[in-house]
Chain A
Amino acid sequence: MTELIADVVVIGAGPAGLAAAIKAKQEGAARVMVLERDRELGGILQQCIHNGFGLHLFGTELTGPEYAFRFIDEALKEGVEFMLDTMVLEIGADRTIIALNENRGMFRIGAGAVVLAMGCRERNRGAVTIPGTRPAGVFTAGAAQRLVNMEGYMPGKKVVILGSGDIGLIMARRMTWEGAKVEAVLEILPFPSGLTRNLVQCLNDQGIPLHLGNTVVKVHGLRRVEGVTAAKVDEKLRPIPGTEWFIPCDTLLLSIGLIPENELSRMAGVRIDPVTGGPVVTDDMETSVKGIFACGNVVHVHDLVDNVTMESRIAGEGAAKAATGRIARGGSVNTLAGENIRYVVPHRLGLKNSSERDTTLYMRVVKPVEKVRVEVVSEGRLLHSKSERVLKPAEMLVLKLPKGKLEGLGDGKEVEFRINAD
C-alpha cells in the first residue's frame, strides 16, 4: 500500500470540497489533496444544468456546471491536487485515510487536517415506506436528473413526482421539456418544500398541477410502473381512506428529502447531530474530532450553493490553520434551537473568534411564519435581533451575528435562537 502525506485532505469535489480546498491552499496549506469518488469534479452541480446558481456570490445567474467551473479553474490555478474515481474506504480519528482507485490501487494518506465534504444522498422509497409493487421506473429525482442531463437517457414518458423539493420541481420542468408528460406533483405537507422561484418557473409556467396534502399510497405494475394510487392525508400526515385516486404513469420520481452522507464521519468517531444528520461543528467548521472539519451538505442540507461555498471557505481556512498549528481553540458557547427553530449550525461558537469576526449562522424554521423577529438570547439577555418578513422551512434562515455580540459570556454558556412575533 502506497503511503502519502498531505497537509489538508478534502473528501469530495463538489461545491463544498472545491471551496474548502481553494481556501485551505490560500491560507497556507502547502499540499491540499481532494479525493473524489465520481469521474468528474463539481459533484452534483454537473447535473444541474439549469440556472440560478451564484446569484448571491457573483451577482449573476450561472448554471451548475458554470458555477463549478469557476471553482475548478481556481483550484487548479492554486495548485490543489485532485484524484478522481477514488473511493475513501476508511478515515481514522488520527486523520489517516485509506482510499482506492484504479491507478494507485489502495493507498494511505496521513493528513494534517481533513475536510469532510461528501454531500448528501436522496431519501428513497424505503425511507418513507410506499407500499405496492417494486417495478422498474421508480427513481429518485437526482438519479433521473443524472440520467437525463449527463447520460442522455429518458427515464420515462408519463411521470408522477412525489415531493415538492427543489430537485423534483426542476425535474418536472426538465422532463416536460424533453417531451414527457408530468401528470402531477404530490406533496404530503400542506405547504411546498421547494423555493418559490422553482414553484413558479417549473410548475406554474409549465402547467403542472401541484397537489398539497397528498401522497402516494401504492405503486402499481409488476415489471414497470403502470400507475400510482394517491390519497389525501390528514393533519398527522396519514392517508385518509376514501380519498384515493389513481394516476396512470410509467415513472415515479421521488423528491422527498436529502440525508447527509456521514458513514465515513461516523467511522472517524465524529459526533452527529440527530436533527441535521450531520456533524456537530464549531464556527471554524471543526467537528468533535480535532483536525477533522466538515462543510456543505454533509453538515446540513442547504438550498443555495452560495451558502455552501461560504461555509466551506471557513472550513478550508480552519483546516489550513489546524494543519499548520495556527488554530485557536479557546472558550466557546453552545447554540440552542429555540421556539419554531429546528436547528442551528454551527453548534459551538468560539468566544475569541466572535470577538474578532462576524459569525454566520444557518437555521431552519419548523413552520412558515410572517412578520417575526429572530432573537439571540443568553441568560435572559437579548444579544441581537433581526426582523424577517417571511420565513419558510424550505428557505434557510441566514443570520449574521456581528462581532462582539457574545462579549461577556462565559465558556460553556448557551445561546438560544428563537422566533418571536414582531
Chain B
Amino acid sequence: MAMKPSDSRWLDWINVVLLVLAGMIVMTPTAWMILSSFKPSYEVIAFPPKLVFTPVIENYVTLSKQTPFLSYGINSLIVTFGSTVFGLLLGAPAAFVASWTRITWPAVVALMARMAPGTLFLLPWYVMFRQVDMIGSYWALILTHAVITLPIVIWVLLPYFDNIPRSIFEAAQVDGCSPFRIFRRIALPLVSSGLAVSAILAFVFSWNFFLFSLVLSNSQTKTLIAASFNFIGEGSTNWGGLMAAATIIALPPLILAAIVQRWLISGLTLGAVKG
C-alpha cells in the first residue's frame, strides 16, 4: 500500500498494542477463574478482590471429598468416549461411501442435526427412552451424544476422502479389491490425520454438551457438565469450589483444542472456511 515506511512502522506498533489488549480481554476471565480456584475460602469472596494471595489446593481437595466429583468425571468420560467411538464407527464408513458415490443424505442429515434445537429431539427421545426404560442409562446418553459426534465426524472426514485421487480407488478396484478392503486398507490410512481431528472435535463437543445429560441422566450417570448445575446451587456459598470445578471441567477440551488448533476452524465451519 502506498505510504511512507515510518508511517507503516507506527501502524505496526499500534497493531501489536491492540492485539495484546485483545489477548488480555480474552484471557483475563479464564485466568480469574483459575486464580480463584486456588484462593483460600475466606479470600475468594473478599471485596475488593485480592490479587496477591498464597495459593492453596484446599478447594480441589474439598471438591473431591464433599461431592462425587470423581464418579461424575468417570461418567463424563464413559459418555464422551462412548459417543466418540460410536460416531467414528458409523461416521467414517458413511463419509467414505458418501464421498465415493456422491450421495448427499449423510451431509444433509448432519446439517439438519446441527441446525435444529436440541429440545426438539429431546422431547421425543424422552418419550422413546421412557418406553424402553432407558432414562438414566449410559446408553441413552451415549446414543444421544452420538447425534452430536456423528455429524462432526462426517463433516470433517468428507473433504479428506474427497481429496484422495479417485484413480487410487479405481486402480485398486481393477485389481479386484472390494470396497471393504479399499476402505480399510487404502482410504482409512490415508485420512488418519482427519480421523484424529474428527475424533478430537467429536470428543470436545460431546464433553461440552449440556442439554441431553441434563434431562436424560440420573444421579448415578450424571456427567460433570450436568452436575455443574448443582455446583452452582452450592457455589453461592463456595466460590472457590465452584471455580475449581469449572477449571477441571474446562481442562480436557482446552488441551485437546490446543492440539488440533491448526485444523480447528475448517472443522468447526463444516469445511466452509479453510483456516
Q: Do A and B come from one complex?
A: no
